[in-house]
A and B are shown apart, each in its own frame.
Chain A
Amino acid sequence: MTFQRFLLRRALMVIPLMIGVVFITFMLVRIGGLDPVGRLAGPTATQAEFDSIRNNLGLDQPLWKQFSIYLGNVVRGDLGESWLSNRSVLTDIKERAVISLELLFWGVGIGALVGVPVGLRAAFRPNGRFDQFTRVLSLFGFSIPTYWLALVMIFVFFYLLGWSPPAIGRMSLLVTPPDMITGSYLIDGVLTARWDAAQSAASQLILPVICLAIVSAAPIIKQTRAIAIEVLSSDTVRYAHACGLPERNVRKLVLRNSAVPILTYIGTEVTGLVGTMSLIEYVFAWGGLGQYGLNAIISGDFTAVQGYVLVLAVFSVLVFIVIDFVVYLIEPRSELS
């Protein structure tokens, strides 16, 4: 199957999924006991003011009608306006998505870069000293609450040691952000040769990235180890030994045969990091999509919550399409399906 047809089929499969996502979030938000009207109207509002706000937002319409209007807008690419800020939800999300993606990229990237080799090494000598050591470490990574880890890191590296800047977001207050190109201060700083901005952005990134890397590396280590151990005990590796393949070649074989399941796992993990991202962004005042979503939920900003969830769903689908494609490139057995 060609890549175009694969994409087309994927897109067709995704449409009902997306309608389902839109429907479920729409309903959940509405029956979830959130009510933005009181907040918009303020403490001194009269009943008449309440009613007119309700009417403006369309909240007095029956649910099915509200839903069909919303769905119609979404299909046209309009996610609506935030009820609190009156800004376009899509614009808000676009801006923040880059910010979160930057954090996610470095965090999971470093987590995988560390986790995969560590897991492999542990697998080559199961129950050896290295394996036992990493098992304790990853247990630690599994069991620490993310926000606690973030707070402790700020406490230690900013407050006690003074090695890192304060957790006030993506850039020092003393540095002017670079001209916007991609939306990532680090990349834009480099592109516009604003080295001070790039440097500040990088130093702000370090703590949240390490935090995310720790949280994501632990399960990567565990999975990589399990996957590699399974490959090591496979007929293929047995036979490779029987053929006298040197250790170096056997390791390469194990690596290649573990690559697909490891990649798939990392993809699944990435899509499951939503909660972690929100917490980290919150603690580090990151101002990305995670924090946006969290705020929207807390304040009952219906359109923003719906937009947020929808974008996350689209993101997950994209991640899986990319992974399917990469798997297709390495794995001759696979068909794009």
Chain B
Amino acid sequence: MTLLKVEDLHTHFISRDLDNQICIAKALNGVSFSLEAGRVLGIVGETGAGKSLTAQSIVGLLRPPAKIVAGSVRFEGRELTDMPDAELNRIRGNNIAMVVQNPRTSLDPLTRVGDQLVRLHQIHSGGPKTASHKRALEMMEAVGLPDPESRAKSWPHELSGGMAQRVLLAMALMNSPKLLIADEPTTGLDVTVQAQILDLLRSLVARFDMATLIITHDLGVVAHFCNDIAVMFGGSIVETGSVRDVFAAPAHPYTRDLIAATPERFQMGRAKALGGQPPDLYNLPSGCVLQSRCAYATELCQTTVRNAEVAEGHFALCHYAGRLEEQPAVKINA
């Protein structure tokens, strides 16, 4: 059975403007992908593409005005989108663990690190406290925190960014999750520490055999780390497939730009590296979201795009997927 199956997920921000008119920002527009046990999927895309929102939608962490308006998320066959919070709470931090971007501010500032690890284990796995404590020390050891005994007594504010991120990884491992979601786990860290954390993450994923969803700006991370890739743009996944296939033969114009603009481990950071504005989510064009920026765009692109399978397991959301080269000359952004 597929571990995680996301189908046609639509998440909107629904608010009212000053004139009390309803405004809708269509932030996710039919996101679909699936993740098998033991696989590592990387989601890449420029800022604002909806990567974090996808993760939050999956685990039910959306806050108003964000709302899932359509679609389904199945984890081990159970539908998560309409699951009550109390039940979701038994899955989050337990079967699905998250590692977030700001480790230092995310930990509870008023509780010692070790106690937070123990608390997390107690909440989900129960059992004697001494067992939780032992497990906490093991996991701190596993994430390479030196001298776990004394580290367990630290307060979060005493940790460096890299150490705090290791603590979050230990938190994630506490209940042996089946799925790990890491949302830009290295963004806030020094470059040297980033590499350490990534190496650690890679070895942990292999050692604990977790399916992993890693969100990043960095194609280099995807290339070295993931089995599969999903490229996001304007709230849609525009191309997915195995890392090897997509890098060898990118089928979507956006992916091509992305790869072209990315020397080894180049940090995209901003959309400007690629040129062009992100689409206005309040006012999406009909048809392809990329059309105003796409060098291949034609009038056909103003009509609804379907996912095309360019090779086995390799999909691209483009009218000309797989035949960009032979595309007719009438281009609108020429």
Interface residues of A (CB under 8 A from B): 233-236, 238-247, 249, 253, 256-257, 330-333
Chain A residues whose CB sits within 8 angstroms of the CB of B126 once the complex forms? none
A238-B61, A242-B59, A242-B98 as given contacts; A331 in contact with B93, CB under 8 Å: no
Q: Are A244 and B94 in contact (CB under 8 A)?
A: yes
B286 at the interface (CB under 8 A from A): no
In the bound complex, do residue A257 and residue B110 qualify as a contact, i.e. CB atoms below 8 Å apart?
Answer: yes
Q: How far is the CA of A282 from the CA of B86 in the complex (A)?
A: 54
A303 vs B105: C-alpha distance in the bound complex, in angstroms?
52
As a 0/1 sequence over residues 72 to 97 of chain B, the CB contacts with chain A under 8 angstroms (1 = contact) are: 00000000000001101111111001
Distance to closest chain A CB from B298 (angstroms):
43
Complex alpha-carbon distance, A243 and B173, angstroms: 11
Q: Which residues of A contact B109 (CB under 8 A)?
A: 236, 257, 332-333
Complex A-B, nearest 10 residue pairs according to Cβ-Cβ distance, in ascending order: A244-B92, A243-B93, A244-B93, A239-B106, A235-B105, A244-B89, A242-B98, A235-B106, A332-B155, A333-B157
CA distance A333 to B110 in the complex (A): 8
- Across-interface contacts of B105 in A (CB, < 8 A): 234-236
Q: Is the interface of A mostly helix, strand, loop or mixed?
A: helix
Q: Is there an interface contact between A247 and B93, defined as CB atoms closer than 8 Å?
A: no
Q: Quick one: which of A244, A331, A333 has the most chain B CB within 10 A?
A: A244
- Chain B 56-70 near chain A by CB (<8 Å), digits 1 or 0: 000101010000000
Please, could you name 19 A-B residue pairs with CB atoms under 8 Å apart, sorted by A?
A: A233-B63, A235-B105, A235-B106, A236-B105, A236-B107, A238-B61, A239-B98, A240-B108, A242-B93, A243-B97, A243-B98, A244-B90, A244-B92, A244-B94, A246-B89, A257-B109, A257-B110, A330-B110, A333-B109
Q: Is A244 within 8 A of B108, CB to CB?
A: no
CB of B107 within 8 A of CB of A244, answer: no
Answer whether residue B222 sits at the interface, using C-beta atoms and an 8 A cutoff.
Answer: no
Cβ contact of B86, chosen from A234, A240, A247, cutoff 8 A: A247
Partner of B61, one of A233, A241, A245, A246: A241
Q: Once the chains bind, are A244 and B123 in contact (CB under 8 Å)?
A: yes
Interchain nearest-CB distance for A263 vs B (Å): 14
Kindly list chain B residues whose C-beta atoms are within 8 Å of the C-beta of A332.
Answer: 109-110, 155, 157
Closest Cβ–Cβ distance, residue A20 to chain B (whole Å): 35
A249, closest chain B residue (CB):
B123
Chain B nearest CB from A277 CB (Å) reads 34
List chain B residues, Cβ under 8 A from A234. Answer: 105
Is the CB–CB distance between B89 and A256 below 8 Å? no
Q: A241-B61, A242-B98 are in contact. List 8 more A-B contacts (CB 8 A).
A: A235-B100, A235-B105, A243-B92, A244-B93, A246-B123, A247-B89, A249-B123, A257-B108
State whether the Cβ of B102 lies closer than 8 Å to any Cβ in chain A.
yes
A residues near B97, Cβ cutoff 8 Å: 243
State A236–B209 Cα separation when bound (angstroms).
28
**Which of B90, B109, B119, B124 is most buried by chain A, counting CB atoms within 10 A of its CB?**
B109
Question: A264 → chain B, closest Cβ, in Å?
Answer: 15
Asked whether B120 is an interface residue with its Cβ less than 8 Å from the other chain, the reply is: yes
B219 adjacent to chain A (CB < 8 Å): no
Give min CB distance, B16 to chain A, whole Å: 12
Q: Is the CB of B100 within 8 A of A256?
A: no
B258 at interface by CB-CB < 8 Å = no
Tell me if A331 and B85 are in contact (CB < 8 A): no
Shortest CB–CB separation between residue A231 and chain B, in angstroms? 11
**B110–A331 CB distance below 8 A:** yes
B171 is an interface residue with CB less than 8 A from chain A: yes
Question: In the complex, are the beta carbons of B100 and A239 less than 8 A apart?
Answer: yes
Whether the pair A243, B120 counts as a contact (CB closer than 8 A) is yes
Q: With A234-B105, A249-B123, A333-B157 as given contacts, are A242 and B100 in contact (CB-CB < 8 Å)?
A: yes
Closest A residue to B92 by beta carbon equals: A244
Asked if B108 contacts A246 (CB within 8 A), the reply is: no
Report B-chain residues with C-beta under 8 Å of the C-beta of A257.
108-110
0 or 1 for each of B23-44: is its CB under 8 Å from A? (1 = yes): 0000000000000000000000
Q: Which B5-35 residues sit within 8 Å CB-CB of chain A?
A: none
Known: A239-B100, A332-B157, A333-B155. Is A246-B86 also a contact (CB below 8 A)? yes
From the candidates A235, A236, A244, A330, name the one contacting B88 in the complex (CB within 8 A): A244
User: What separation, in Å, do the CA atoms of A241 and B124 have in the docked complex?
Assistant: 13
Question: Which A residue sits closest to B168, measured CB to CB?
Answer: A239
Contacting residues, chain B, for A253 (C-beta < 8 A): 108
Closest chain A residue, CB of each to CB of B120: A243
Cα of A256 to Cα of B111 in the assembled complex, Å: 10
Q: What residues of chain A lie closer than 8 Å to B90, measured between beta carbons?
A: 244
B84 vs chain A, min Cβ distance (A) = 11
Contacts of B63 in A (CB 8 A): 233
Within 8 A of A (CB), among B117-156: 119-120, 123-124, 155
- B110 CB contact (under 8 Å) in A242, A244, A256: A256
Is B85 a contact of A247 with CB atoms below 8 Å? yes
Please, how many angstroms separate the alpha-carbon atoms of A332 and B88 in the complex?
Answer: 32
Bound form: Cα–Cα A9–B117 in Å:
38
